[in-house]
């Protein structure tokens, strides 16, 4: 939202000065102005040709057509002539990416559909018939704006002819089981909120920030996982406030507030209807809800005032360290991204203290428990069951300073073998060089050979 606000307020463009690049951003309207539609038409006809253009009008569901949120048209570029590539030198990386999304969607929404030949192919292998369904793109339509001709989630076929002989590269026998629904990502959660009519575009980002900063969910590999705190708070809220903690409440309340703004209903009746039930539920919760103690995580950091091990607390601005002897000792300090450490059996070779397992930017590592007197650290080396082609020791998984994974010999610095691609224990049948995993294939590391299988 901050980047969008910058694009709306204005960015300094070379040769033009400060220019507002997008229209009002806090709107959920699907409507484009006649001026914007005409601009899109002229741009598409000039740059792609008549067959790519299609006049389109987008409307919201009938119940929302006359709401005040539609007073502002959909978010769009103020001028389609300012393409992302023309402005790239004047925008930051984030501004360029966000403006590109808005610009491409504004152009694409006035273009023809992509067209496909939906195809079923039968493969005959020794009288065993294998079937595959997919599609062949015959006209790219709006997709040409996005600059791609394929998508990972679609099965695209190459051009094929009847009775064509194909080479079998690999046969992979797989058994498929029913999988549970995937966890939400930030994007899929926002999509769900939008479909259920909960919130506005300007509230989606603060919603996700709130549930993560209060430790209701934790983010792992892009997915949102509920924490113990999240389960506990949800259980208590659903028990004592069932009329509020449900997916229909927010959407219905926003409809009522829209009616208030448009003058169709008196605000007092809306507030009165809500508050009467809420007050009763609040009284019950105050009398019956038990105080639940969630034990603090103990860190390895000693309080410099009283010597006690400090505990991890959560506040409105995130986690911090606090002395457990509060209020007698009120010492606090920032956590600085450090989590409570896990004790290991390893001993520090410098001072003899126990080593603690910690998490850092590039994964887990060992650190001396006698910090800050002893600042000894060392990485936790994870290896794969493949021998180094140079010295025979195991290959280790490592990370560069930029966070990119690579593979190196576990005997470093005596052996300095490294590879960006995961080595295998196979040798190339042609040149006898090492085979590595590249694009899900075993590929010879010798660029001159480059054999894949």
| DSSP code for 114 | P
Instruction: Give residue limits of the domains in the chain.
Output: 2-108, 183-226, 228-293, 295-340
Domain 228-293 CATH (choose: 3.40.50.720, 1.20.1250.20, 1.10.460.10, 3.30.930.10) = 1.10.460.10
Task: Say how far apart CA 261 and CA 280 lie, in whole Å.
Answer: 28
56 conformational bin, left if phi > 0, alpha if psi -120 to 50, beta if neither: beta
Q: What is the CATH number of domain 2-108?
A: 1.10.290.10
Rounded to 10 degrees, the C-alpha dihedral 226/232/237/238 comes to: 70
Q: What average pLDDT does the segment 265-291 reach?
A: 88
The mean predicted confidence, pLDDT, of the chain is 83
pLDDT of residue 39: 93
64 has pLDDT over 60: no
Q: What average pLDDT does the segment 75-85 reach?
A: 93
**CA angle, 418 then 420 then 421, to 5°:** 110
Largest CA distance in the chain: 85
Token code pair at residue 162: 């009847």
Task: Say how far apart CA 78 and CA 101 lie, in whole Å.
Answer: 14
The yes-or-no answer on residue 24 being catalytic is yes
Token code pair at residue 195: 């479909």
**CA angle, 301 then 302 then 305, to 5°:** 140
Q: Would you say 299 and 309 are in contact if contact means Cβ atoms under 8 Å apart?
A: yes
pLDDT band at 104 (very low <50, low <70, confident <90, very high): very high
Residue for token pair 């005959």: 124
Identify the bridge partners of residue 398 per DSSP, sorted by sequence position: 406
String of b and e for 364-388 (b: at least 16 CB within 10 Å)?
Answer: ebbbbebbeeeeeeeeeeeeeebeb
pLDDT of residue 149: 52
Catalytic residue among 8, 24, 96, 421: 24
pLDDT of residue 434: 80
Least trusted range by pLDDT, from 34-48, 156-170, 275-289, 356-370? 356-370
**CA angle, 9 then 2 then 338, to 5°:** 160
Q: Which residues contact 245 (CB under 8 A, 6 or more apart)?
A: 234, 237, 238
Identify the bridge partners of residue 238 per DSSP, sorted by sequence position: none
Identify the bridge partners of residue 357 per DSSP, sorted by sequence position: 342, 366
pLDDT band at 95 (very low <50, low <70, confident <90, very high): very high
Q: Would you say 256 and 269 are in contact if contact means Cβ atoms under 8 Å apart?
A: no
Task: Say how far apart CA 37 and CA 48 lie, in whole Å.
Answer: 16
For residue range 363-407, what is the model confidence (pLDDT) as tens digits? 677 888 777 678 888 877 778 888 888 888 888 887 766 567 788
Contacts 24+ apart (CB under 8 A), 415-420: 415/388, 415/390, 415/391, 417/388, 417/389, 417/390, 417/391, 419/445
Q: Do domains 2-108 and 228-293 have the same CATH topology?
A: no
Token code pair at residue 213: 């900063």
For residue range 288-345, what is the model confidence (pLDDT) as tens digits? 887 766 667 778 788 888 888 888 876 545 567 888 888 889 888 777 655 556 678 7
Rank 106-110, 209-213, 260-264 by mean pLDDT and report only the highest: 106-110
pLDDT band at 445 (very low <50, low <70, confident <90, very high): confident
Does an H or E element contain 322, and which?
Answer: strand 318-322
- From the number of C-beta atoms within 10 Å of its C-beta (0-12, 13-18, 19+), residue 165 rates as exposed
Rounded to 10 degrees, the C-alpha dihedral 211/215/218/222 comes to: 40
pLDDT of residue 153: 44
Task: Say how far apart CA 382 and CA 74 lie, in whole Å.
Answer: 50
Rank 49-58, 218-227, 353-362 by mean pLDDT and report only the highest: 49-58
Q: Which residues contact 74 (CB under 8 A, 6 or more apart)?
A: 23, 27, 29, 30, 31, 32, 58
pLDDT of residue 360: 64
68 has pLDDT over 50: no
């Amino acid at each position: 939202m901050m980047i969008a606000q910058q694009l709306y307020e204005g960015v300094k463009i070379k040769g033009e000065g400060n220019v507002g690049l997008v229209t009002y951003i806090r709107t959920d309207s699907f409507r484009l102005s006649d001026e914007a539609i005409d601009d899109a038409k002229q741009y598409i006809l000039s740059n792609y040709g008549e067959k790519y253009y299609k006049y389109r009008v987008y409307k919201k569901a009938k119940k929302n057509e006359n709401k005040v949120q539609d007073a502002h048209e959909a978010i769009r570029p103020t001028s389609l002539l300012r393409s992302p590539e023309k402005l790239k030198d004047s925008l930051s990386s984030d501004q360029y990416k966000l403006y590109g999304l808005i610009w491409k969607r504004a152009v694409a929404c006035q273009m023809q559909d992509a067209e496909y030949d939906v195809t079923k192919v039968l493969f005959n292998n020794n009288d065993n018939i294998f079937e595959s369904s997919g599609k062949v793109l015959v006209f790219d339509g709006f997709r040409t704006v996005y600059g791609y001709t394929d998508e990972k989630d679609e099965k695209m076929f190459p051009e094929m002819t009847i009775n064509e002989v194909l080479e079998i590269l690999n046969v992979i026998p797989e058994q498929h089981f029913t999988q549970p629904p995937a966890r939400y990502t930030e994007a899929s959660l926002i999509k769900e909120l939008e479909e259920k009519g909960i919130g506005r575009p300007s509230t989606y980002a603060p919603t996700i920030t709130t549930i993560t900063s209060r430790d209701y969910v934790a983010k792992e590999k892009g997915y949102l996982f509920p924490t113990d705190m999240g389960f506990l708070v949800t259980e208590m809220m659903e028990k004592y406030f069932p009329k509020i903690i449900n997916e229909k409440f927010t959407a219905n309340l926003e409809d009522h507030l829209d009616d208030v703004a448009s003058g169709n209903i008196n605000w007092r009746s809306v507030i009165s209807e809500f508050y009467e039930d809420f007050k009763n539920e609040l009284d019950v919760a105050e009398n019956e809800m038990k105080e639940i103690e969630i034990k603090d995580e103990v860190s390895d950091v000693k309080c410099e005032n009283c010597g006690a091990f400090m505990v991890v607390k959560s506040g409105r601005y995130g986690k911090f360290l606090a002395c457990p002897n509060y209020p007698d000792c009120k010492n606090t300090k920032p956590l600085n991204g450090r989590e409570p450490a896990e004790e290991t059996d390893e001993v520090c070779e410098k001072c003899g203290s126990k080593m603690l397992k910690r998490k850092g930017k590039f994964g887990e590592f060992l650190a001396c428990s006698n910090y800050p007197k002893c600042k000894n650290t060392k990485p936790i080396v994870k290896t794969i069951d493949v021998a180094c082609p140079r010295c025979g020791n195991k290959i280790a998984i490592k990370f560069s300073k930029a966070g990119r994974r690579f593979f190196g010999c576990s005997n470093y610095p005596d052996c300095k073998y490294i590879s960006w691609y995961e080595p295998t224990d196979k040798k190339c049948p042609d040149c006898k060089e090492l085979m590595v995993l590249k694009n899900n294939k075993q590929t010879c590391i010798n660029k001159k050979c480059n054999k894949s299988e």
